[in-house]
Amino acid sequence: MHCLILGETGAGKSMFAELMYRFAIESHIIPTDAPFITLVECKTKLDICKVKLDP
């Protein structure tokens, strides 16, 4: 399941992403061992984003 969530700082993007992830696991849309991957420190569209993997 791929998703790009855009919005201003403080809009709740991370919270929404985690809720989607939990819903997908509980609904058996994705396996329980599927990683939750976030892109962090994307200050501009031209920056190279650092990838953060959460178990």
Q: Which residues pair with 51 in a beta bridge?
A: 39
Question: What pLDDT, on the 0 to 100 scale, is given for residue 31?
Answer: 94
Question: What pLDDT, on the 0 to 100 scale, is given for residue 36?
Answer: 87
Alpha-carbon span 42 to 54, nearest angstrom: 18
The DSSP 8-state label assigned to residue 16 in this structure reads H
pTM above 0.75, yes or no: no
Sign of the CA dihedral running 32, 17, 15, 42: positive
Residue in this structure with the two tokens 């919005």, named with its chain if needed: 7
Which whole number is the average pLDDT over 3-11?
83
Ramachandran assignment for 9, one of left (phi > 0), alpha (psi -120 to 50 degrees), beta (any other)? beta
Higher pLDDT: 39 or 14? It is 14
The tens digit of pLDDT for each residue in 18-47 reads 999 999 999 999 999 999 887 765 555 544
